Amino acid sequence: MKVSAICLGQAEKLPGKSYKTGINKHSVSGAVLVDENGLVGDKICNRKYHGGPDQAVYVEGSLTLDWWAEALGHPVVPGLFGENLVIEGLDNRDVCAGDRFYLSGGVVLEATSARIPCNTFSARMGDPKFAKRYMAAGRPGIYCRVLVPGTISPEEPVRFEAFAGEKVPIPEMMRTFGKRLTPEDRVRYLAAPIHTKLCADLEKTGS
């Protein structure tokens, strides 16, 4: 695996929208600094739902984007889905919470949760029904926390390491979003290093 694209976005308005968003991301050719809050220089506008240490870096796998290119009938350029990193050779469906990405430059990322599509994403794609289509596809992007900050560069090799505990697949996290889990699934989720907000919500439901 390797980093095939690094993407940054600035605050912009989408057609027909009054608010600004950082979803319009474009690939850059040079190295980018990464801290605990993500890629330095990447704009996050709605911090209620986006950004923060547990959603610091948004990853898409190249195999998943290839699938979307075929489904959509046109190329999916880096940044189209609002991702920060495209990792070559990765299929989003193979990632679980707690899986880690070790970049050769020293940065370490840990998967925490699934990308949940919203109306802004649909507007970005020019299709009001795209969020539902994305959910139905079952190939969500991956939010990661930064365990070790540093600098990332295009073409940088990536080593994937699976979480050693019970699996909580990223596609399952999207599928169960907003739903009440069984007691067994709740225990499994809480045993994984999932997004802290989801962890807090699950702890409340079990109290």
Radius of gyration of the chain (CA): 16
Which one is predicted more confidently, 41 or 96? 96
Residue 178's pLDDT band (cuts 50, 70, 90): confident
Closest CA to 84 of 9, 159, 169: 9
The pLDDT value recorded for residue 46 is 62
Residue 23's pLDDT band (cuts 50, 70, 90): confident
pTM here is 0.91
Question: If DSSP states are collapsed to H, E and C, what string results for 38-52?
Answer: EECCCCCCCCCCCCC
**For 172-177, what is the mean pLDDT?**
94
The pLDDT value recorded for residue 20 is 75
Number of domains the chain is built from: 1
- pLDDT of residue 45 exceeding 80, the answer is no
The percentage of the chain sitting over the pLDDT mark of 70, rounded to a whole number, equals 95
Strands 85-88 and 2-9, how do they pair? antiparallel
Number of residues that this document lists for the chain? 207
What range defines the domain where residue 122 resides? 2-205
Question: If DSSP states are collapsed to H, E and C, what string results for 108-149?
Answer: EEEEEEECCCCHHHHHHHCCCCHHHHHHHHCCCCEEEEEEEC
Indicate the helix (H) or strand (E) that contains 7: strand 2-9
Least confident of 6-20, 118-132, 137-151, 169-183: 6-20
Enter the DSSP assignment of 27: E
Backbone angles phi, psi at 109, to 5 degrees: -115, 145
**For 172-200, what is the mean pLDDT?**
91
Bridge partners of 39? Answer: 34
Which one is predicted more confidently, 42 or 47? 42
Q: What is the CATH number of the domain that holds 115?
A: 2.40.33.20
Residue 206's pLDDT band (cuts 50, 70, 90): low
Report the Cα–Cα distance between both ends of the chain, in Å, rounded: 42
The pLDDT value recorded for residue 160 is 97
The pLDDT value recorded for residue 48 is 61
Angle between helices 196-205 and 183-190 (to 10 degrees): 150
Q: How many CA atoms lie within 13 A of 35 on its CB side?
A: 5
What's the pLDDT tens digit per position in 81-122?
Answer: 999 999 999 999 999 999 999 999 999 999 999 999 988 888
**For 52-75, what is the mean pLDDT?**
95
Per the prediction, the chain carries an average pLDDT of 91
| Cα gap 135→106, rounded to integer Å | 33
